[in-house]
Structure 1
Amino acid sequence: MKITSPTPIQEQVIPLLLGGETDLVGQAQTGTGKTAAYGLPLLQNIDPSKSKVQALVLCPTRELSQQVAKQFFKFTKYTDKIFTESVYGGAKIDLQIEALKRPTHIIVATPGRLIDLVNRNAVDLSYVRTVVLDEADEMLSMGFKKELDQILDFSKNAKNKWLFSATMPDGIKQIVNQHLSADAHKIEVSSGDVVNKNIEHQFLICDEFEKLPILIQFLKAQKGDRGVVFCKTKAAVSKLEKQLIARNIPAGAIQGDLLQKERDKVMRAFKNESLQILVATDLAARGIDVEGLSYVVHFQLPESPEYYTHRSGRTARAGKKGISLAIVTSPEVKQLRYFEKKLNIGFNQIRS
């Protein structure tokens, strides 16, 4: 897979998780290589000869759930067959129940759908040895605290509980204190280490009414290159998509109100390159992994440095270079300076 040197989180986490049964709290932003950090030790611990569910990975969104399952599939291409099933809300539960009747070693799930499946006796968690909470703070902010507590109660027998989170709000500390052992390992990768060095961070200052013409000018200059344009709200994403399409720019939107089949349709079109631009909210973009994205544009600035890291990390993957462009008004420059300091990066100002 052309992965040759480990990221800081992989370097610290992989030897620890391979060393035996343990609980772990890992604090690291998205885009730092967490999936391989927990995924490789997780796969190593699976016994392919036993066709029982031996591990659970919980994710905030269906995109991330699908993405993790896809990575596991790639990691095990040359090993004994390890079967992973991804289950999430918004898809037909009957089909997922049928799929789970096949041998399944790992379930990657959104919390609500997993609870539904357990309540229907469609899944047996009694053999689960490892539970991973991926992007735990996101699951909390989406209101999944009760479901997470329930699932961790179901899997009391698990010998390994690994929690990964970009931030550590009180709700996460509560989960750690209640469900993980007192001697759980804690590993934190500082945000200064997490931003990909192959990304060029740029910004452009304009008035609010100039943002759209400047964006269009930038997108047209990209010719056939593909990228993601980020907005903060679902309404802003829908509006911008319509504005771009009206100007003959092939764009598609993904945001939380879309049905699963609509999201899948947009993602298919983007992956097969019939769409050049994806307009997305921060949450809807979790788990998007499309190769060869040349740029990301921040049409509206994100709330936090963590979200900036996640957004900009969509580009410059697999050793390639990429651009992260923020289109900002004068008052927003202050927030950029804060990101610069917090993430240890430099922004270059460009003129329109």
Structure 2
Amino acid sequence: MTTFSEFGLSSELLQAIEQIGFQTPTQIQQKAIPFLLENHRDFIGLAQTGTGKTAAFGLPIIQKIHREKIPQALILSPTRELCLQIAKDLELFCKYKKNVAIVTVYGGAKIDPQINKIKKGVQIVVATPGRMNDIIRRKKVDLTNIKTVVLDEADEMLNMGFKEELDAILQHTPTTKNILLFSATMPKQVIQIAETYIHDPYEVTVGKKNTGAETVDHAYYVVRGQDRYEALKRIADIHPDIYGIIFCRTRAETKLIAEKLIKDGYNADALHGDLSQEQREFVMGKFRKKNLQMLVATDVVARGLDVENLTHIISYNLPDDLETYTHRSGRTGRAGKKGVSIAIVSRREIEKIKRIERSIHKQFERRQVPNGHEICERQFFHLIERVKNVEVNEEQIAPFMNKVYEKLEAFTPEEVIKHFVALEFNMLLDYYKNERDLNVPYRSKDQNKNKQRSKNKEKHSTKFQRLFINVGRKNNVRPQDIISLVNDISGKRRIPIGEIDISKSFSFFEVPPHEAHELTSTTVYLDDKEVQIRKADSKESKDSGHRFKPNHTVGKKSKKQKRKRKK
């Protein structure tokens, strides 16, 4: 078995590693540390998030640092959270190695204190690209003596649009430096960066490129759009020990879901871009101490969060790009422990699940949203296990036991247990007494064809209910956007839709009356704007906007239009 002592690390670093509790090096550490200690050469390390990359590049950098207080290593990361986490880890490694100065440079905080720390003398700079580029433009840092540049989470930096900043920063570093690029995936942009700035690299791949971690199981639940939140609650209820992150697309949705969970009694909070750094650190402090079970977050602010022992990652909505899903799922199943990545999807998103499966080379399990009986049973036996395993401090409870026995003397042991169960579960049993089945049924190809035929017949014979929606041309809304929104809410494709009228700040559209209630009772968001749908007032004009007739096909001219054009 390989140990850290075999790598040739200094006694100070080995002492710090032992105190931290590191025992066996991870795969990326085994391959990177010996090479980087002995070579000054460009390096590419492809490994999932949470595989110990900070130690893989951090330990060699610290060992090679000389005492002069000038910037010798620059570590770039996509977010301030990851930036702070890297610096914290490096400081732990440096505990017994004196005179190593590390500064963190990131946006969202005052720039002057960061500049002052650089002026006082520093050997390692850990920075986000935007703030680092700002300091370079102000000519407040000298990078001419940089020996090593680390691009950590390179794919995420490029996903966040930092390519120009990375180009500008690297141009201010000496050509003699070596570049260490670490990434979970290798999309085209990362390959382009590598081809431009990295020369003759030593490349290490842990696992397969662009694949999911072996320790993570992937599952999905298919529900209608308006049932996502109810499905989320049932998933949380069926896993009483859940400790995970729920990913949403927008900060508005993050706030909404977190507020709903808190209101419904769940141990949750939100992490999004509207929070100050102090508020973020407060929320993250609670989450790391497990005072919170669930953290609702956007992908942007969650990048760089390094939290151990997460049991679940839940995608409330699937991300647009496949690499983001890989990063989400890679936050669980770390350090050899098993984790689960769950996606809540509508029927039309099943094809997206298949694309992700092909991308990460992992099979998803389609699961059924649990019913009330299953949830109550799981919660009950979870409580029994807690009762069995609780430590009893005889001395502390002894003064109260006589009164307890006196109060319960009228009950048999069986009756005490029944009352105990009722006390804990009456509310839960009552809540799930008349629960709906949230699962969208499986459908064969023949069923799909038959259903489409019936829909086509219905479309020509159904009367329509006219609905109002509070978005229009100024929100860049097109007919296909309204159709897509209706499909997402209803969880159905090709729902019959009548005329669509789009005005400047609002629109109207028509659906069958039996679909109207579902659409008007759901709150949804379109590009962070809360969308309100209600039945149109009979006085509201049908001629207030650009009208699109039923069966309007976007981007295609009808035969009638073509004949008019020829005349």
The TM-score, its normalising length taken from structure 1, stands at: 0.87
2:107 aligned residue? 89
Query: In the TM superposition, what whole-angstrom CA distance separates every residue of 1:70-120 from its partner, at most 9, and x where no partner exists?
Result: 222233334445332211000111222233344422111011211222344
Letter in 2 for 1:325: I
Cα gap change, 1:322 to 1:78, in 2 (>3 Å): farther
Separation in 1, partners of 2:234, 2:257: 14
Residue 63 of structure 1 and its aligned partner are, at CA, apart by 1.0
Residue aligned with 1:31, SS: coil
Residue 196 of structure 1 and its aligned partner are, at CA, apart by 3.7
Decide which of 322, 330, 333 is 1:313's aligned counterpart.
330
Letter in 2 for 1:19: E
Separation in 1, partners of 2:354, 2:153: 26
1:36 aligned residue? 55
1:13 aligned residue? 32
Residue 229 of structure 1 and its aligned partner are, at CA, apart by 0.5
Separation in 2, partners of 1:298, 1:306: 14
Identity %: 44
Q: Does 2:300 match 1:283?
A: yes
Listed as ranges, the gaps of 5+ residues in structure 1 are none
Work out the number of aligned pairs and report it. 350
Residue 130 of structure 1 and its aligned partner are, at CA, apart by 0.6
2:260 aligned residue? 243
Cα gap change, 1:35 to 1:304, in 2 (>3 Å): farther
Residue aligned with 1:261, SS: helix
Q: Check conservation: 2:244, 2:313, Cα contact below 8 A.
A: yes
Letter in 1 for 2:59: L
**Structure 1 segment 149-298 matched on structure 2, within 5 A:** 149-169=167-187, 171-181=189-199, 183-189=200-206, 191=208, 195-223=212-240, 225-298=242-315
Cα gap change, 1:235 to 1:185, in 2 (>3 Å): same
When Rg is computed on C-alpha atoms for both structures, the one with the higher figure is 2
Residue 189 of structure 1 and its aligned partner are, at CA, apart by 4.5
Cα gap change, 1:248 to 1:215, in 2 (>3 Å): same
Query: In the TM superposition, what whole-angstrom CA distance separates every residue of 1:110-163 from its partner, at most 9, and x where no partner exists?
Result: 112112223444333222111111222322333322221221121125421122
Which structure has greater helix proportion? 2
Cα gap change, 1:143 to 1:302, in 2 (>3 Å): closer
Residue aligned with 2:219, SS: strand
Separation in 2, partners of 1:77, 1:7: 21
Q: Which moved more, 1:304-313 or 1:292-301?
A: 304-313
Residue 279 of structure 1 and its aligned partner are, at CA, apart by 0.8
Query: In the TM superposition, what whole-angstrom CA distance separates every residue of 1:26-84 from its partner, at most 9, and x where no partner exists?
Result: 4444334332332222222212x222221000111111111111222233334445332
Q: Does 2:43 match 1:24?
A: yes
Separation in 2, partners of 1:112, 1:348: 40
The TM-score, its normalising length taken from structure 2, stands at: 0.56
Cα gap change, 1:195 to 1:138, in 2 (>3 Å): closer
Separation in 2, partners of 1:269, 1:171: 36
Letter in 1 for 2:117: A
Separation in 1, partners of 2:99, 2:157: 30
Cα gap change, 1:192 to 1:278, in 2 (>3 Å): same
Residue 220 of structure 1 and its aligned partner are, at CA, apart by 3.4
Q: Check conservation: 1:200, 1:324, Cα contact below 8 A.
A: yes
Separation in 2, partners of 1:207, 1:22: 53
Cα gap change, 1:32 to 1:128, in 2 (>3 Å): same
Provide the aligned C-alpha RMSD in A. Answer: 2.8
Cα gap change, 1:334 to 1:3, in 2 (>3 Å): farther
Separation in 1, partners of 2:271, 2:35: 37
Separation in 2, partners of 1:349, 1:105: 51
Query: In the TM superposition, what whole-angstrom CA distance separates every residue of 1:296-316 from its partner, at most 9, and x where no partner exists?
Result: 212112334432332122223
